[in-house]
Amino acid sequence: MAQDVVVVGLGYVGLPLAQEASRAGMRVLGFDASADVVDGLNAGKSHVDDLTDADVSEMVNHGFEATTDSSRISEAKVAVICVPTPLSNDGLPDLAYVKSAAGAIAENLNPGMLVILESTTYPGTTDEILRPILESTGRRAGEDFHLVFSPERIDPGNEKFGAKNTPKVVGGHTPACADAAVDFYGKFIDKVVKTSGTREAETAKLLENTYRHINIALVNEMAQFCHELGIDLWDVIDAAKTKPFGFQAFYPGPGVGGHCIPIDPNYLSHNVRAKLGYPFRFVELAQEINATMPQYVVRRAQDILNDDSKALRGSTVLLLGVTYKPNIADQRESPAVPIAKLLLNAGANVQFHDPFVAEWDAMAGRVTRAEQPEKAVEEADLTILLQNHSDYDIPALAAASQEFFDTRGKAPRGDRVYRL
């Protein structure tokens, strides 16, 4: 075979995986449905935060090639699916990308091929959705080809843990399938952990994300009543986290964003409801609490202005940081969008600044970008820190603001500085 592996879907997940495999000396082909993505990569341009243009050029120099030609999948021994798994408009799992990637692999399935799904999804997807598409070729999983689920754990922007040093979980359709995946990933990932089957690996990923989702909801709910009770929750968390066992610190914020936390737990709760007919109550409650945070932030903004005898209508509100996490450009599901919309609906003049966002597409034309945050904070009636990018000198920005509402607990406490 000409290629050791084809990575199907070259985004935040697929590209770092392709990079590690290429670094380990494997022959890596990338297949993506987007011609823009493919052309960019072949020209040495990165479109994800975790890889620079130089990283992509290095891959290309080592023989990496991207293509939109699905027939080339047949050149590879291993196919890894890293395509999006969003929610549909009615909030249900949308597996259209997985099905289409599976169809492309089925048309090019070779005997002995190892097919791995990495996209986050509900338990049973590998066995009930992917396997039938691949077996429509007449080949049998576990006999003619290997089938595995291995959840992606990438954390964009994390400088400590990347694809190589984050343990990889693999669940095989058969024990031999799992062994084939251990062999494959073991060539470029430090530690590979087997589960008893594909469903366990699928559920492990959802447990990880649901755990974060629920714990964030817990502190978001506490933030609201602690404010009413005059208790500084940030101080509470700092104290609690000195316990060396049995506690992990989570922090409140303006809402949950990104591709995983607001979306993945829905896959699990949907699956529990659809298969068993009852709700996954923890997830649904967490969803409800986290979803109300943008409204809560706007209500607090209104209260701060009210104390200055100002209304939201006509006030200038500056939003600092509109991405969903610090130090990256990813804006997917960012709570900054509902917050900006609520402020606009209330009649505020909304401005934003973000060192990573030149054009805020989601709010196109409705919100202007402040070019100099140091100056803009002086002019705005209220500044709201939504994301603590390390580029920001938060104490200086807070000191220069008329009013500073800090949803990240980073500004020094003081007059005219309010924490969530």
Ligand X SMILES: NC(=O)c1ccc[n+]([C@@H]2O[C@H](COP(=O)([O-])OP(=O)(O)OC[C@H]3O[C@@H](n4cnc5c(N)ncnc54)[C@H](O)[C@@H]3O)[C@@H](O)[C@H]2O)c1
Say whether 260 is catalytic: yes
CB of 366 to ligand X, least distance (A): 25
User: Looking at beta carbons, which residue is closest to ligand X?
Assistant: 11
Q: If binding is defined by CB under 6 A, does position 100 make contact with ligand X? A: yes
Q: Which of 29, 41, 80, 84 binds ligand X (CB under 6 A)?
A: 84
Listing DSSP states for 257-277 in one string gives -SSSTTTHHHHHHHHHHHHHS
SS3 at position 253: coil
**CB atoms near residue 291 (< 10 Å):** 16
Q: If binding is defined by CB under 6 A, does position 50 make contact with ligand X? A: no
Dist. CA 343–CA 319, nearest whole Å: 10
Q: If binding is defined by CB under 6 A, does position 262 make contact with ligand X? A: no
Whole-number CA gyration radius for the chain: 23
Q: If binding is defined by CB under 6 A, does position 267 make contact with ligand X? A: no
CB 197 within 8 A of CB 172: yes
SS3 at position 17: helix
Q: If binding is defined by CB under 6 A, does position 312 make contact with ligand X? A: no
CB of 60 to ligand X, least distance (A): 17
Kindly tell me which of 8 and 339 has the beta carbon lying closer to ligand X.
Answer: 8
Q: Report the DSSP beta bridge partners of residue 250.
A: none
Q: If binding is defined by CB under 6 A, does position 56 make contact with ligand X? A: no
Kindly tell me which of 8 and 268 has the beta carbon lying closer to ligand X.
Answer: 8
Kindly tell me which of 59 and 101 has the beta carbon lying closer to ligand X.
Answer: 101
**Beta-strand pair 168-172/146-149:** antiparallel
Stretch that binds ligand X, among 80-88, 312-320, 340-348, 389-397 (CB under 6 A): 80-88
CB of 344 to ligand X, least distance (A): 28
Q: If binding is defined by CB under 6 A, does position 331 make contact with ligand X? A: no
Report residue 44 CA to chain centroid gap: 24
CB of 356 to ligand X, least distance (A): 16
Dist. CA 1–CA 4, nearest whole Å: 7
Q: If binding is defined by CB under 6 A, does position 256 make contact with ligand X? A: no
Q: If binding is defined by CB under 6 A, does position 335 make contact with ligand X? A: no
CB of 53 to ligand X, least distance (A): 17
Kindly tell me which of 147 and 163 has the beta carbon lying closer to ligand X.
Answer: 163
Listing DSSP states for 51-109 in one string gives S-HHHHHHHHHTT-EEES-GGGGGGEEEEEE-----B-TTS-B--HHHHHHHHHHHTTP
Q: Which of 82, 177, 226, 260 is catalytic?
A: 260
Q: If binding is defined by CB under 6 A, does position 150 make contact with ligand X? A: no
114's tokens: 């190892």
Tell me which residues in 1-40 interact with ligand X (CB under 6 A): 8-14, 31-34, 37
189's tokens: 């990932």
CB of 34 to ligand X, least distance (A): 4
Dist. CA 147–CA 149, nearest whole Å: 7
> How many positions of this chain bind ligand X (CB under 6 A)?
26
Binding-site string for ligand X from residue 108 to residue 147, where x marks contact by CB under 6 A and - marks none: -----------xx---------------------------
CB of 271 to ligand X, least distance (A): 15
**Amino acid identity of 79?**
A
Task: Select from 382, 363, 377, 366 the least CA-distant residue to 301.
Answer: 382
SS3 at position 46: coil
Q: If binding is defined by CB under 6 A, does position 174 make contact with ligand X? A: no
Task: Select from 246, 241, 194 the least CA-distant residue to 219.
Answer: 241
Dist. CA 60–CA 56, nearest whole Å: 6
Residues recognised as catalytic: 260
Q: Which residues bind ligand X (CB under 6 A)?
A: 8-14, 31-34, 37, 82-85, 97, 100-101, 119-120, 152, 154, 156, 259-260
